Structure 1
């Protein structure tokens, strides 16, 4: 199937129109060569994150940078949280020259990748101890370029695939993203001993070529924009142009701001149950987030050593997460997104009980491996289904802006609501704490039930034979 094939109309609730398929049909989805492109783009997107966070903090510690400075450097990752602010520019504004020759999505992707291949070597040649202020400036720019790459690749993969392939596409992208993080995290740290920090960072910059070559060999997605949204923007532009107090340029700027910034909100708020959908985005992974906040502290309090926690968390945890992402993608291909959200949400909720059992058992490395494995497996499944849901929610007229907004709401909501988990852990023992985190997943599933019933009522009735 050609990369540029137009996508058909999509459901406005993000749950899709597709139902269960045979296992052969679900596996056949992955034969589409576009999934290979999405995987490699995922690697490119995941590479820079550790370079400005975990790997960078270890480099700074090895160079003898003081702890206060290392802590302050965490602020350079702020662009990842704020990327929704400039997503409308990437959605609507052409990048000089590149958009003309490559298209809107590919042009912006290439621009972000070229900037990364220039700024990561700048970090490599600066060094955190020699000039921490300059290193912070370069790291901040890498974060900005990486967040921009995330914005445009998210939009690209959503627009590239038909609705029934969004779920498997999301899991493929997450799998690639995690591989990219592994390369720039554990992979980079394993290379440092023989090559040195600067060389390793230069190698990481060169690996961005994976995504660069991939996007050049791919096609610009072709899709039909929403006629209702286009008509609304046109009416506003005509109204502004008629206003006598506005010059032509000022009216054009206001019309652009309406189309790029205001209209994505207006379009979303015209959907049935938009508030319920918003609450579901916030609550679906709440129980998982609450447990995750205190899991490390819980392990330390049970007496597990740093080596035990690291070995179980990094080896078993990573493998289980990746397996969960694969299972989540397969469930979406086999059963459709709605059933996948139910199954992944249920497994995600019940996985917290493994830590409740760990609290009863105490210091037992086998039980820890089982608990971490199940929790990460469920987390990978839930993340795959949830990212696919956010992808399906996007109106293709505002893909980059809406996906950035939805993911920001999800992240901010979980962070704020999970923040009191520490206080709860001080008030009760560990077993009741993890029982409460299990119960905290119920509001999200209750909202999913609401959306499921509304989706079923809105589904078209089958035509009689």
Structure 2
């Protein structure tokens, strides 16, 4: 629960809260949509997840072990990124805003990878995953609510503004660090706590500075390349996004026949970098493609709503304070209730039935925003729409976490869960980045852009149910090597 809370606090600060902050500084809707692509970074966490399974953080690792060492480094990264975003909260230079939003997303994701690996190691069965996933998501979603509502309430106060909001949430996100530092050493580790802490902080500073410089250089190259081919704030990027979405499926489909024939000692299967991912397709074969298609659609409505729901509500005339209050106790109660029911269903029901119910309630949450647009501007209606959204997201999210955990090979818990959970949000987050452009196009065509957008996102969530008769029959191939 504590680890979920640590990871949940920063999430809204580079997604929903950042969108409202950019809107307040009169950044265009299309460009705000581009900023939603910062949320793509967690999708690609499989690229560095194997490092967390293999290496320890210098200093921290020698006393607190692999998992806690990475979590402590990640919390330092989260705090430094949030501090810088607070100090540059005027958004006069969007390059700086984008740089530290990306770094905040990276360190938040790294914390999640380490925590997820530990959770799967602790609870390898479906019955155990239900309650432990619910506890993790109680912490995660409670923190998201606290950060989302708290940041808006602070930002709306005279003398605080967006700088105060980011500094306050950044400080709260750092609070678990001293708790972790006070814990006993990991089994097989020990020595001087003070020496490990000093060495770990020194190594962390060097890692943070190096990663900031590398991210800035890569970002400059990408933005220069985009500008060179004519992509700007007025570009219709939707066709490009859809083309990119197809590439992973084409690559995987081409590779599966060869992967299925690989012997246990094949370099691809034994590789530290790609072995865990090759193992997934070796175990599931072409059924793995159906599984990937299903997981990439199941949370579609949640992700698309996250990027634009608060902008739509603000556009309806509600203040930051009203949105913050709706995102506080109303969202918290609804979310915790949804998580609890989702965890119970995942532990007791066949997963196919639990996934079905979760998808239906998630879609209802999206349709609730369309309903809100046609109601008089009253806080009660805002509370009802927010509660429906948070309840559905909490239920579907918990069931989905358990489902993904059951697909994982226990030999590669960190890497394979990172791969599955990351890929699950690739398509939704790519489309989310084009969300602003889609809404503007619909408005220009004479439609109510936000309304049609949320209807479409809810329908896409329900479309995942078409895969259930097929994926319910998925069975992993038994291992063929002695080590298993």
TM-score (norm 2): 0.63
Deviations 1:172-223 (A, max 9, x none): 222212222344443345456588546972773364232552486388699x
Mapped pair 1:321 → 2:335: yes
Which has more radius of gyration?
1
CA shift for structure 1 position 109: 1.6
Deviations 1:14-46 (A, max 9, x none): xxxxxxxxxxxxxxxxxxxxxxxxx11111112
Contact (CA 8 Å) 2:339, 2:397: kept in 1 or not?
yes
Mapped pair 1:159 → 2:121: yes
3-state DSSP of counterpart to 2:411: coil
Mapped pair 1:451 → 2:471: yes
Residue of structure 1 in register with 2:272 after alignment: 260
Q: Which moved more, 1:155-164 or 1:370-379?
A: 370-379
Residue of structure 2 in register with 1:270 after alignment: 282
RMSD value, Cα: 4.7
Mapped pair 1:217 → 2:183: yes
Residue of structure 1 in register with 2:265 after alignment: 235
CA shift for structure 1 position 76: 6.2
3-state DSSP of counterpart to 1:177: helix
Distance 1:221 1:40, change over 3 A: farther
Contact (CA 8 Å) 2:367, 2:454: kept in 1 or not?
yes
1:93 to 34, 55, 58: 55
Residue of structure 1 in register with 2:249 after alignment: none
Distance 1:215 1:162, change over 3 A: farther
Deviations 1:72-118 (A, max 9, x none): 87776664444332222222223224333333222222222244455
3-state DSSP of counterpart to 1:322: helix
3-state DSSP of counterpart to 1:397: coil
Contact (CA 8 Å) 1:106, 1:216: kept in 2 or not?
no
Mapped pair 1:393 → 2:407: yes
Counterparts in 2 of 1:161-180, with a 5 A limit?
161-163=123-125, 164-180=127-143
Q: Distance in 2 between matches of 1:269 and 1:96?
A: 33
Deviations 1:47-78 (A, max 9, x none): 2334455556777888xx7748x958777666
CA shift for structure 1 position 269: 0.6
3-state DSSP of counterpart to 1:148: helix
3-state DSSP of counterpart to 1:103: helix
Q: Which moved more, 1:197-206 or 1:208-217?
A: 197-206
CA shift for structure 1 position 271: 2.4
Paired residues, number:
387
Q: Which moved more, 1:257-266 or 1:427-436?
A: 427-436
Mapped pair 1:201 → 2:164: no
Deviations 1:400-450 (A, max 9, x none): 222222122211222456768756796878999877665544442231222
Residue of structure 1 in register with 2:108 after alignment: 146
Residue of structure 1 in register with 2:317 after alignment: 305
Q: Which moved more, 1:412-421 or 1:343-352?
A: 412-421
TM-score (norm 1): 0.65
Unpaired runs of 5+ residues, structure 1, are 1-38, 223-228, 238-254, 459-465
Q: Distance in 2 between matches of 1:436 and 1:67?
A: 25
Distance 1:195 1:372, change over 3 A: closer
Mapped pair 1:381 → 2:343: no
Contact (CA 8 Å) 2:297, 2:428: kept in 1 or not?
yes
Distance 1:271 1:439, change over 3 A: same
Residue of structure 2 in register with 1:250 after alignment: none
Deviations 1:217-237 (A, max 9, x none): 388699xxxxxx9xx898246
Unpaired runs of 5+ residues, structure 2, are 189-258, 479-484
Q: Distance in 1 between matches of 2:152 and 2:386?
A: 23
3-state DSSP of counterpart to 2:425: helix
Q: Distance in 1 between matches of 2:371 and 2:151?
A: 36
